[in-house]
Structure 1
């Protein structure tokens, strides 16, 4: 029995990792298209559409902090080759080389292998995107037995939704669809005790498909446990990755640097934004350590909404637009109405847009949030678009 359980767990871990590779590869493909690294290229009197040059890509990965050195960058691209995400244009090389060779994403030339597993995964991703955009909002943060689960939905509600949206013609067909997604590790019962049933049991998507992955996450294949993220947009960047891969920067106005050691990137946000931990998987699969990071508020004194909004108050309102990158937006919120900026990554999109510590958050994408706590504000941001429009108030010096 124990051997069977270990086999099932190993298979689930492998599927989870393969899915993460697919997501990470697709996010990289889109970024490279945006950055014009993928384009038609001519070699030996022949034009190869939608290609990139290996050496140029290695330079790009290092410039964009996706890899600390060329050796690591090569390993990352080899992972994508091994999983049939990219290939040499003539399939003449099975190894990724740091040279002026042309490579291409298989999705760009129609050679990506659509196995049954991949089709189930892509269907799950499609359903996730529709649920995120749905006005019904049945997929949300939900609580069961004192624990909170992100991306959760009741079994009977998702069955109703699938039929309403035309994704299934009957309840039986909808149940079969959800069971396939569960068997392939896309969804699961929150405590991992039940298969899928048309009932009031609570299920969750194991993946946040919209979370922006770091390529270096692909190197965690042998960790034994799928590395989940807390879905936060407030990811702080790594500090000196060549020295210590587990250190992160948290920068305040006075440029004081606090280094948090031995904290996984996926758990950094819960530690920074408060003491409450949100599980992306059942607690039995991923029990996170209790970590304190910047426990002391950067505010000089408590400030109320009434004080901020009172006539003649010494605060200036600003509207700032932040375009998230592959890591996130690069800031941390804290507080219980109003929320405020606790930390900002000096090299991130938020800092470039003008976000500063001690600013108070007024609205997020036109939604007034001054009466909401940091957990609710975090959820609004991470389920929204990549481009973030925020109104903030800062003290007039």
Structure 2
């Protein structure tokens, strides 16, 4: 590969595999929370929060066809242990044992190591979410030499986007960021012949962060090609998925339901800057192009943060506790300074918690977001815990 050592691709593949293990582990964690396998448990007069019993989890893996037998289930969980995703609650066992022992996800107890590789991975995930949610996104299916590449972009266009969106202070910084993403296996040149350059070379995301992983993929040394899927633990649900319907609801529960055509599930954080362009999900391979998800804002007019906080303003503050399920939280956020709720799945966790469209987001898990831009709010939601504590303001008129 030009511009780098001969082992750059090998290192990138290894880092990509670690990223895939992290994604699969996080998707499993959300599913186990949803299935109530992760909960506070008492052992020897001590309570261990957010843990699971190894033997029960092995049974669950077999019942849910994530492992064909107990031996495979043990190997899968050992893989997660080796990558510091789960651990024994007292760190007494370095191996995963199929017994009545308590284990815990490190993300649930705050011991997940945020080293450089993890931080680069989270940065790549945040950029990917912003790109796939963008209206007229630079991330799309592109062809080169009669070969079609998914999640592809032109190098100089990515540099333009990073600087325009404030993700990088200069073109030089943007190039350095993209080179770091490439070296960590998150992006690559489509033919793997080049390092990243601010040019017309074609690149693509090697990782589809929204694809639902099967745990058995973790047992391969290299990432296999897996058919694309719009499923994501952070997605707004489809309506009538068994009927092939590609629509979702953009409604307020007490109003008439409006069905908006969409080519895929929209991300829970399909966001847009309030004063900038609106961001929507891109087409999916095999579905009709040109369809738009939430083509325009649901707000009747733009509202400023100062207006929300001014004395006597016709807004009331509420606190919502939203416990995500295996699919996600079931809402779409857009705008910025302040962000607002663009769409709510009437059958999802957010609607059950009292969320409605046109509400303004004040804080996420205790962090004030009223004056933050959408990439920051997106990162707080996507990388945060399964249970969201959100303060919102809604119009009382």
Q: What band does the TM-score fall into relative to the shorter chain?
A: 0.5 to 0.7
Over 3 Å counting, the alpha-carbon distance change for 1:354 and 1:124 in structure 2 is closer
**CA deviation profile, 1:335-387 (whole Å, cap 9, x unmatched):** xxxxxxxxxxxxxx99x96836xxxx675443288xxx994418899x99978
Cα distance in 2 for residues equivalent to 1:63 and 1:9 = 38
User: Which residue number corresponds to residue 52 of structure 2?
Assistant: 52
Deviation at 1:184, TM superposition (A): 1.3
Deviation at 1:123, TM superposition (A): 1.0
Cα distance in 1 for residues equivalent to 2:218 and 2:202 = 30
Deviation at 1:82, TM superposition (A): 0.9
User: Which residue number corresponds to residue 41 of structure 1?
Assistant: 41
Deviation at 1:178, TM superposition (A): 0.6
Cα distance in 2 for residues equivalent to 1:153 and 1:65 = 36
- Name which structure has the greater RCO, CA cutoff 8 Å, separation 6+: 2
**CA deviation profile, 1:159-211 (whole Å, cap 9, x unmatched):** 12212222111111111111110111110111112211122211100010111
Over 3 Å counting, the alpha-carbon distance change for 1:375 and 1:89 in structure 2 is closer
RMSD: 3.4
Over 3 Å counting, the alpha-carbon distance change for 1:194 and 1:325 in structure 2 is closer
User: Which residue number corresponds to residue 22 of structure 1?
Assistant: 22
2:118 aligned with 1:231: no
Cα distance in 2 for residues equivalent to 1:10 and 1:173 = 25
Cα distance in 1 for residues equivalent to 2:29 and 2:109 = 12
Deviation at 1:55, TM superposition (A): 1.3
Q: How many residues align?
A: 264
Q: Is the 8 A contact 2:217 2:223 kept in 1?
A: no
**CA deviation profile, 1:304-362 (whole Å, cap 9, x unmatched):** xxxxxxxxxxxxxxxxxxxx589x9xxxxxxxxxxxxxxxxxxxx99x96836xxxx67
Q: 1:367 aligns with which of 257, 261, 282?
A: 261
Deviation at 1:32, TM superposition (A): 1.0
Give the secondary structure class of the aligned counterpart of 1:149. Answer: strand
Which of the two has greater helix per residue?
1
Aligned positions of 1:1-397 closer than 5 A: 7-221=7-221, 225-232=222-229, 355=242, 364-365=247-248, 366-367=260-261, 375-377=285-287
Deviation at 1:51, TM superposition (A): 0.7
Give the secondary structure class of the aligned counterpart of 1:228. Answer: coil
TM-score scaled by length of structure 2: 0.59
User: Which residue number corresponds to residue 240 of structure 1?
Assistant: none
Give the secondary structure class of the aligned counterpart of 1:377. Answer: coil
Structure 1: runs of 5+ lacking an equivalent: 234-323, 329-348, 390-397
Cα distance in 2 for residues equivalent to 1:229 and 1:169 = 36
Q: Is the 8 A contact 2:138 2:153 kept in 1?
A: yes
Deviation at 1:90, TM superposition (A): 0.3
